[in-house]
Structure 1
Amino acid sequence: MEGVEVRHGVAGVRRLWQASHTLLVFPIVLILVITVVDQLVPADIHLGPLLVTAPAFTASFAGPRLTGLIGFLAVAAQAYIGWHFGMLFTRNVLVQILALAVLSALIVFFCVVRERHERQLDQVRAVAQAAQHGLLWPLPERMGRLRIACLYLAAEDEAQIGGDLYAATRIVGGVRVMIGDVRGKGLSAIGEAALLLGAFREAAHRHSTLPTLAAALEQSATRYLADFEPADEAGERFATALLLEVPDEDHTARIVSCGHPPPLLLSPGDALTVPSLHPAPPLGIGGTGPEGYTIDVIPFEPGDTLLLYTDGVIEARDADGGFYPLETRAARWSQSGPESLLRHIQRDLRVHTRGHLEDDAALIVLRREPDDHRGRHHGRLIHASGFGHNSATG
């Protein structure tokens, strides 16, 4: 897998290098055209100062070395024009040559600064990607009887992680899934998200029922907030969560909601159902024990699809302030596979919000398969950083 990534990286660099050399033709032609035309126009018209456009244009697609080369050619062209007219050592031509050399040097300097900043940004992105994989592990494409696809949309530009979270794990006789939303967005919510994910992965195998699992997550969130919650935010830090359990043999889904939006159930024939749940308070607020959580059981037949989401999806607004109509749009694509459904929603959500989300958003699609698919094949996270800057892949 690493070898494939390296080959893709080398191929990308090679394509970028070839594209830069192709574009290099334009500033060279520009220098030639200005030089030739300057010799053809009347003597009182001087086009030499326009040569500075060549290195300026080159800086838009090339690095400091190629920009410096074009700047040198521009200065040489200016010197040739002065020599052609027998004015090379006049004060006016020397000043023009010096000014062009200084401007070219400044352009090269800004190229060096830009490349340094790009390298720093690449390092930040690499750290963010590592944190992304450490925090949000890509869910398997199949787990038990389920086909799974997931999508994460970060509201902040250049951020790849935030306060929305999800996880899935195999238990004896079924699968457990959690999707949640920490109050806040972006980098400030990462600590609580990491806590809940770690607590779920550890506790999902230890507790036989969803209420006891929810109570364990509540205890973890309460302890964390007691130790790290700022005094001026007391009582304001919490997380909504939806816990889902899908048995292998029973065609149902068991749900416990901790203040989280209910999932959408898509059935063959374009039927859409919004289950009626009995939500408990969000995690980190009430200190509720197992008795405070209600299990809601819904039918989940082979061929059915469950769409889990965070409120960043349904609260996304258009230019007129209207919320995104997830139910209507999801029903339109109910016959799509998990990956295709998420691609449809992402594209439609981008159009609805004009490429800018106000809050992080996450979605999980669970399709119950009729056959016994027990293989565990890790899939790719469909991720969009900065939302409008990337497209989903299935």
Structure 2
Amino acid sequence: MPLNKYYKIAIPILLLLSVSIWGILFFNKTLSTVADNKKEIKPFLDAFFESRGNVLLSGNIKDIEKYYDTANTYGKWALEHEMRQINYVKGWSEKRNLKFTEAQSIYRIKSIKVGEQSIWLYLVETMKMGYEYNVKPNIINYMGLGIRHSIQLVKVDGKWVIRRDWYYDPLDEDSAFIDISPADGIAPEISPANSTPAGDSQNKKKGNYDREGAVRYADTYAGAAWGSGNNYEYNKKYRDYNGIGGDCTNFASQVLHEGGGLKMDYVWNFNGRDSSTAWAQAPALFNYLIYNGKGRLIAQGTYTNMVKPSDTHPSGAIRELQKGDLICYEEKGEIVHFGVVTGFDSYGIPVVNTHTSDRYHVPFDLGWNKKVIYRFIHMND
């Protein structure tokens, strides 16, 4: 073979090998850097999430101030969000005449990006919370939350601190109200409509809708929330709409179809890639259920209106909800959220499962403003 032809073949091969070797070495170095940083930041994250849970119980914000870069505007904002959350939870628990007894979290780092001056983390927090009513001491109700964080860590004076912490907050669901405050009052303690133990005739499937099946599905696929099944993951059969409008209505539709047994049709459907408007958008799902007779509007109004007795609802509209029913959340005239009723706590308050801010057996009004309008939907059997 002529020498010039040999070089024409050999040189590209050598260059390719050099690039490949460099890439492998760089990749291994990157993996090592990421692993080293995970190991370094783990004690900080462990301490932060433990303290964050303790502060939800104590209300003492000073116990977590040290974890934030308060010399930076973004760090101040991140801390102020925690203060807002803590103040809301304190106010809500006082107005519902209860106290939180437990707040514990585990977290899983999904991705990590190491920069010269900071580390960006995407992690999922799974939180378990317990609460008891003051009139029913020693009966602990447990609920679960799932929170997806994008956190920026920086080093200040040799210590890691949080500069940014972006997440959907399941203890602060409102998007329309800057300064939220919980509604006053608590419903009188009256047995809910489905106080019959699970498995008794009232909760068995009587027609087209399987209530217990709906609840089982909602509990299995409640996402990152404590209490959920499926290894804290959504059902991968369906598209995840988080980041592109939210997944709450898509989840409600899954519950109705997969768990409740309602059949898809040309208006309400998911084809394996995309969903119809009625399947994934809250106002459209409400209209679909009500106007085709699959659901019935029990009542709509503020929290106070829904819990107090009236001529139409002598025990309050809240007492007519059953497992497998739905709750719509309306802000400033627009339906923005769906929750699935999955049971009742020790006081008979409906608890819900949701997506976007993943929730498992959470009191239906926790995290919402007193101005929110609730729409209670009874699913027709």
Pairwise TM-score range, normalised by the shorter structure: under 0.3
Q: Which has the larger radius of gyration?
A: 1
Give the TM-score normalised by structure 2: 0.26
- Which structure: greater helix fraction? 1
